[in-house]
Amino acid sequence: MTTTVKIGIVGCLGRMGQAITATIMAAEGAILCAGSEVAGHPLIGSTLDGLDITVTDNAKEVFDEADVVIDFTPPGNTAVHAAFAAEAGTALIVGTTGMAAEDHAALDVAAEKIVIVQAGNFSLGVNLLMALTKQVASKLGTDWDIEILEMHHRHKVDAPSGTAVMLGEAAAEGRGASLESLRADVRDGISSEREAGAIGFAALRGGSVIGEHDVIFASGSERLVLSHKAENRTLFADGAVKAALWAAEGKAGRYTMQDVLEID
């Protein structure tokens, strides 16, 4: 017997929300059952194109209706959505980046009752890049400097990106340390000489760039660059829906896209 997973989207009319909607409609074993937007949005009360679904400004209604909810909304909503999910017993897929410590704490609490998949990036390529970054960092000594360069569209509000931070964490893990202990300060003006073993970040913003990430390993005589470029938002939507279908069958706990893809 085939089970159809009911998926809801908070932020259903944003760039990612629209991409996820299209992906759900094309996915086998999934249906879009509900969608919400922020209060005051001009399309509250309208129906999603081709669907008998009314856009609501009450996110709790989405959680009450769905088996799994996908959340790519801006930072600041995560704790509230996690509480809604735990109360309704709804699995939660979180693609929000730039979250505060209290947001992560709220996800930890909710994960005691429900399945939560949270990642800074849901693409297969980026998650493979994380694994490669960890492996390379583990093989190269601290005489190899690590810099992570990322570029996104002009509307992105957090920096460095969630994906860049994930790559930094993978590099630090490869070196047997935490990113917090190795992360270099932002460089501006006259700064001190680069510390051996530090992991640096640089963020670029402009135009309509969906997402580009380079992990640069630089020694005194050569450079190795691991790179990923997103061509469109479909790859993120595909990953989010894959995670939603996976979460519908999972046990309560907090997971990453690495768990969904079974990447060590």
Q: What domains can you pick out in the chain, each with its CATH number?
A: 5-122+233-261 (3.40.50.720), 124-229 (3.30.360.10)
pLDDT at 144 over 60: yes
pLDDT at 107: 98
Higher pLDDT pick, 75 / 10: 10
Report the interhelical angle of 234-247 vs 15-26 (nearest 10°): 60
Distance CA 57, CA 6 (A): 19
3-state secondary structure of 56: strand
Q: pLDDT per residue over 24-72, tens digit each?
A: 999 999 999 999 999 999 999 999 877 899 999 999 999 999 999 999 9
Positions annotated as catalytic residues are 152, 156
Distance CA 240, CA 159 (A): 22
pLDDT at 1: 42
Q: pLDDT per residue over 133-142, tens digit each?
A: 999 999 999 9
Over the Cα atoms of the chain, what is R_g?
19
What is the percent of the chain where pLDDT is above 90?
A: 87
In sequence order, the β-bridge partners of residue 7 are 32, 68
The whole-chain average pLDDT of the chain stands at: 94
pLDDT at 89: 98
Backbone angles phi, psi at 152, to 5 degrees: -140, 175
Q: What is the identity of the amino acid at 188?
A: D
CB 50 within 8 A of CB 31: no
Q: pLDDT per residue over 75-108, tens digit each?
A: 899 999 999 999 999 999 999 988 999 999 999 9
Q: Identify the sign of the CA torsion 221, 169, 241, 32.
A: negative
Distance CA 186, CA 260 (A): 33
The band of 2, judged by pLDDT with boundaries at 50, 70 and 90, is low
Q: pLDDT per residue over 160-203, tens digit each?
A: 998 999 999 999 999 999 999 999 988 888 877 888 899 999 99
| Whether residue 75 has a cis bond before it, omega within 30° of 0 | no
